[in-house]
Amino acid sequence: MSRRLLWAVLVLTLGGVLAAWMVTTMRSGPRSGASDGVALDSFGAVPDFALTDQLGQPATRADLAGQPWVADFIFTRCGGPCPRMSERMARIAGGLSPDSKVRFVSFT
């Protein structure tokens, strides 16, 4: 089997698995969240980090401690899913009340 054919089979197989997973996920309906009194999944503690924010100031995990925050990881020049992720984060933030304490963080 040629290398090119092997890559094509691999890509098509992975695409099929991804499509099946997406269909299964969409059919199962929305996941329960904190709004209905059900605890959200926990994936462990966020490790300490020290980064630089958009204003050139230090930003650490301690800056977010004690308050709810939602994060995503994007690449600013990404032409793929990143713009949709940023749009979704903005839509979620816009749906919260003005006095909400939730912070939104994008790592890039």
What is the per-residue pLDDT across 5-14, written as a single tens digit (0 to 9) for each? 888 778 888 8
Q: In the structure, what pLDDT confidence band is assigned to residue 50 with cuts at 50, 70 and 90?
A: very high
Q: Is the pTM of this model over 0.75?
A: no
Name the average pLDDT for the chain.
82
Q: What is the mean pLDDT of residues 32-40?
A: 62
The full 3-state SS of 28-87, as one line of letters, equals CCCCCCHHHCCCCCCCCCCCCCEEECCCCCEEEHHHHCCCCEEEEECCCCCCCCHHHHHH
